[in-house]
Chain A
Amino acid sequence: MRKRIVALCALLLLAGCAGKKERSITIAQQYGTAYAPIAVMRELDLLEQELPDYIAVEWAQLANTAAIRESMLAGKTDFACMAIPPFLIGRDAGMEWRICSGVSRVPMGLTTSDPAVQSLADITPEMRIALPQPGSIQHILLAMAARRELGEARRFDDQLVTLSHPDGMSALLAGGEVSLHFTASPYLQQEQQAGMTLLLDGEEAMGQPYTGIVAVAGESLYRENPKVYQGFLNALEKSIRWIKDNPEEAAQLLAPLYGMEPDALLLEMTAPGAAYTTEVAGVEAFGAFMLEEGYLKAEHPLNTLLFPEAAS
C-alpha cells in the first residue's frame, strides 16, 4: 500500500515537471504607445515563434522604472524596456545589464498652464513640476535644458512632484500648484489640445535626437542563454518592421489595448518625432551629462553599456 502511494506521488511529481517548459522568460514594460513593438510582439506571438519549444513568455506591466529595475535585480525579469537615464543609474549602481536594442522614439516635452511662463527663466520656486520620477528621462531632459538656459542643472530639483503621466496631466489641468508637466506622447498632445502651451521639446532640451525607449537585458542571460537573447532580438526586429510596413493594421491591432480609436492611434504612432527603430542614439550624451552633474558616480564607456550586437 505504502509503496503504491509513494509511486503515485512520484508519478504526480514527474507529470508536474513534464508539463512545464524548460525555462520561462519575463518581459517588463510600462504602459503607452512607446512600447508598441513589445505589444505587437505579444499580440502576434512573435517571441513564441522564435523560440517555439521551450519558452513560456510572461508579460509584466510595472508602474515605474524603479519597480522594473528592482524586479530585474530580484531575478524576476529577463528583458525590460525603459528610457536611457534610469538604465544608466542602474548600471552606475552596479547592475550587470546592458542595452540590447532601441525600441522607439517618442515626442516628449514640458507643458505649462501658466501663460506668464514663456521660458525656463520664468519658472518661480513656488511652481511645481510634475514628472514620472526623479532620475527619469523627463527629469534629466529638464536638467539639461536648465543647464543650457540658466547655467544650473539642478535648479528645479526641489520643485518636482512625482506623478504618473495621467495623474500629472490631471494635476496640471486641475490648475493647482502643479503648473508644469514634463510628459510624453500621447499626454503631450492631449495637454496641448486642452490649451496648455509647450514650453520645451525633448530634442530641443537634449540638443540632439535620442532613443526614448531601449530594451535592456542582463549580462548573465546574454552569456548563458544566447538563444533566448537572439530570439528576443529577432522578435523585436520583426515586430518593428511589421509596424513600419503595416501601420494601419498595427493601429487596428493595438487600438483596443490602449482604449483608443484606430485613427487616433495611427496619428499618434506616426506623429512627427515618433519612430520605431532598433537604432540606439544618445547614450553617450546622457552619460556625459549625468556624470558631470553628479547623477552618476563613474564614467561608463559605451562598449560597457551596449551588447556588441547593439553597438554595431
Chain B
Amino acid sequence: MKKLLRYRVVQRLGWICVLLLVWQGAVWSGRVSPLLLPAPRQVLETFLDRLLYGELAAQIGFSLAIILRGTGIALVASLGIALLSLYSKVFASFADTLCALAHPLPAIALLPLIIVWFGVGYPAVIAIIVHSTLWPLFLNLTAGLRATPRVYVECGKSLCSSPLWLLGHVYLPASASSFLAGMKIGWARAWRALISAEMIFGAVASSGGVGWFLFQNRVMMDTAGLFAGIFVVALIGMLVEELLRLAEQKTVVRWGVSAPQ
C-alpha cells in the first residue's frame, strides 16, 4: 500500500514537472505577455514573498479554520439527521425530500438568499460551507447506516443492549467507507464554495481567506499574485484529497470493506 502511495506521489510530481516545463517553455518563447502568463520563477517568488512577509499565510489559516468549522457543523448536523432518519420512518421521508430539494442546489445559486438571511459576514460563509457539505454527508451516511450488514448488528446486540453502544461500535464503523466517500464529495464542494464565497464577500474582519487573496490580486492586476493564489487553492485541495485517500487506505481498504454502490 505504501508502495502504491509513493507511486501515486511520484506520478503526480512527474506530471507537474512536465506542466512546469511546458509553462516555462511558453514563457521563454517570448510570445506570451507576462500579464497573461508570468514566469514560474516570478510566481514562486511572489508566492514565497506573500507567504513569508505578506498576508497569504494568515489568509490560508483563515480559510482552513472557517472550512473546518463549517464542515464540523455539517458533520454534526448530518449525523443527527441521519440518526433520526434511522430511528424514525416519518422523519426519514421528510429528510429525504428535503435533501432531494437542497442537494442539487449549488451554494452560489443560494447566494442572494444567504445574503438576505445571514448578511455578508462570517455567518454567511459558514452557511455556504454547511449547505455544501451537509447534503452529500447526509446522503452517504444514511446509505452507510442503512447498508450496515445485519450480521454485525445482531452480533453487536448480543454483546451489548445499549443503542448508543451499538451506534458507536457497530453502525458508525460499518458506515466508515460511505462516510469517507461523503467527506470527499463534501470537501470538494465546500472548498470550491468557500473560495467562490470569499471572492464575492471580501474580507471578514481583517481576513478574507484565499479567495479574497485571489480577488484582490485580480483587481490589482497582479498576475503573478493571482497565479500564486490559484496554486495555493489547487495545492490545498489536492493535499486534503490525498489525506482523505490516506484515511481510506488506513481504514476501509485495510478492512476489506468497500462502499455500497
Complex CA–CA separation, A75 to B175 (angstroms): 53
Complex CA–CA separation, A171 to B205 (angstroms): 17
Residue among A89, A125, A134 with most chain B CB within 10 A? A134
Q: Which residues 200-222 in B have Cβ within 8 Å of A in the complex?
A: 200-203, 205-207, 215-216, 218-222
Residue B83, interface by CB 8 Å = no
Residue A159, interface by CB 8 Å = yes
Which one of A73, A94, A177 lies within 8 Å of B119 (CB-CB)? A177
Contacts of B253 in A (CB 8 A): none
**A239 to nearest B CB, angstroms?**
29
Residue among A73, A161, A178 with most chain B CB within 10 A? A161
Count how many chain B residues have C-beta atoms less than 8 Å from C-beta atoms of the other chain.
Answer: 24
The interface bits of chain A over 10-24 (1 if a CB of B lies within 8 angstroms of the residue's CB, else 0) are 000000000000000
Q: Give the size category of A's interface with B.
A: 20 to 34
- A162:B215 contact, CB within 8 angstroms: yes
- B35:A94 contact, CB within 8 angstroms: yes
Q: Which residues 151-207 in B have Cβ within 8 Å of A in the complex?
A: 200-203, 205-207
**A136 to nearest B CB, angstroms?**
8
**A125 to nearest B CB, angstroms?**
8
Interface residues of B (CB under 8 A from A): 33-36, 115-116, 119-121, 200-203, 205-207, 215-216, 218-223
Interface residues of A (CB under 8 A from B): 65-66, 69, 73-74, 86, 89-90, 92-95, 125, 128, 133-136, 158-163, 167, 171, 174, 176-178, 295
CB closest chain-A residue, reference B223: A93
- B221:A171 contact, CB within 8 angstroms: no
Contacts of A162 in B (CB 8 A): 200-202, 215
Contacts of B206 in A (CB 8 A): 125, 158
CB closest chain-B residue, reference A178: B120
CB closest chain-A residue, reference B221: A93
